[in-house]
Amino acid sequence: MTTVAVLGATGSIGSQTVEVVRAEPDRFDVTALAAWSSVDQLIAQAQELRPDAVAIGEPDLFDRLKAEVPPNTEVLVGAAGFEELATRADVVVNGVVGFAGLGVTLAALSSGKRLALANKESLIAAGPLVRPLRSVPGAELIPVDSEHCAIHQCLRSDDLADSQRHLEKLLLTASGGPFRGRKAADLKNVTAEQALEHPTWSMGPKITIDSSTLMNKGLEVIEAHELFDVPYERIEVVVHPESVVHSMATFTDGTTIAQLSEPDMRLPIGYALAYPDRIGTPFGAIDWSQAKSLHFEPPDRQTFRCLDLAYTAGRIGGTAPAWMNGANEAAVDAFLSGAISWSGIASSIERALERHDGAPADSFEAVVRADRRGRECVRSQGTSRGSDV
């Protein structure tokens, strides 16, 4: 039996983790659950799964939670409660959104646990802080992102421990988002509503906008660099509108290995929970008896400028990815509220990145500060400058 802590339990990754556990009750036992503020959903999960401990982020909700979870359930509170639970199970699923998730990542790896990581800040903003903790005995980082799960599987076809030796390049696939095939000139006046219609995955508004600008793919390039220690010049992006090939690796002999499945996040979650074994429930299995075609094309880097901005930040290193990620979040907020245009997102980030101060990512405070400064750089541009192309 593998014990599982689900942190960010009521969000998209957390609730799909619970579905995987439900499908394989003889294999996984949820021993800890944590949510920031969705107390009703957390209570329902605790009543069903009967964990040893639960945590709630908002201190005001402690009494409610304590009164309604099964007796003998330990109840913890705040970021410290999340971090404590991250040290208490065989596998820690980090589905926490934002910087609160970084503490969970650091706690899980420091205590030598397997971390099933869905929190983006942990690798994009704080890669240099996370890297050394991966050599703590017992610590293991398995990505819960469809592309990185795919690459992890592709690299297993070679020698994971020494995958650099035969690896030629990583190929991250991108759906291309709702504006694939369109040019910068016709995208000037697109609305938030149009950008929120993702063709293949159903996700929250922030990540859907990131998918429309290809920033999501840019952030994933940085994550791939951090996870697999592959230099940026050997990480490429391929547009693949069907989202069936989740990513690929090409080796020195010309072989390309790909991972294919229907889009279903329960597959990467189950992979991270069971690795190096595999679960027995086929989430996202492809029906090969049906006719299908798969298409691939290079990304349009002139129209989708965010992709290269992410490469630039990644190559600068230090706190530049944190700075850029903060700038992107502020720019997406500004777009969603109608303050800047869609093409203004890339322009705002570019100007913010030009102002990066070159600080190293040597502490939690340094990355949080860079994130904040990146956001401020976008907000200070206001609506008039931010909306030009």
Distance, CA of 87 to CA of 115 (rounded, Å): 10
Least separation in angstroms between CB 233 and Mg ion: 22
Decide whether 146 or 208 has the Cβ nearer to Mg ion.
146
Decide whether 38 or 146 has the Cβ nearer to Mg ion.
146
Q: H or E element: which one contains 21?
A: helix 12-23
**# chain residues binding Mg ion, by CB under 5 A:** 3
Residues 221 and 172 sit within 8 Å (Cβ to Cβ): yes
Least separation in angstroms between CB 374 and Mg ion: 21
Decide whether 243 or 347 has the Cβ nearer to Mg ion.
243
Decide whether 147 or 329 has the Cβ nearer to Mg ion.
147
276: preceding bond cis by omega (within 30 degrees): yes
Would you list the DSSP string of 229-294?
Answer: ---GGGEEEEE-TT--EEEEEEETTS-EEEEE--S-THHHHHHHHHTTS--SS-TT---TTS----
Decide whether 131 or 198 has the Cβ nearer to Mg ion.
198
Q: Quote the tokens at residue 172.
A: 């991250």
Decide whether 146 or 341 has the Cβ nearer to Mg ion.
146
Q: H or E element: which one contains 16?
A: helix 12-23
Least separation in angstroms between CB 145 and Mg ion: 4
According to CB under 5 A, which residues from 139 to 168 bind Mg ion?
Answer: 145-147
Residues 273 and 279 sit within 8 Å (Cβ to Cβ): yes
Least separation in angstroms between CB 294 and Mg ion: 18
Residues 95 and 13 sit within 8 Å (Cβ to Cβ): yes
Distance, CA of 13 to CA of 17 (rounded, Å): 6
Least separation in angstroms between CB 183 and Mg ion: 25
Residues 316 and 356 sit within 8 Å (Cβ to Cβ): yes
3-class secondary-structure state, position 33:
strand
Least separation in angstroms between CB 147 and Mg ion: 5
Least separation in angstroms between CB 227 and Mg ion: 12
Decide whether 86 or 237 has the Cβ nearer to Mg ion.
237
Residues 353 and 120 sit within 8 Å (Cβ to Cβ): no
For residue 180, the Cα-to-chain-centroid distance in whole angstroms is: 22
Least separation in angstroms between CB 80 and Mg ion: 30
Distance, CA of 268 to CA of 17 (rounded, Å): 10
Decide whether 45 or 105 has the Cβ nearer to Mg ion.
105
Least separation in angstroms between CB 324 and Mg ion: 18
329 interacts with Mg ion by CB under 5 A: no
3-class secondary-structure state, position 188:
coil
Q: Which residue is nearest to Mg ion (CB)?
A: 145
According to CB under 5 A, which residues from 79 to 138 bind Mg ion?
Answer: none
Decide whether 30 or 215 has the Cβ nearer to Mg ion.
215
- Please report, as ranges, the residues that interact with Mg ion according to CB under 5 A: 145-147
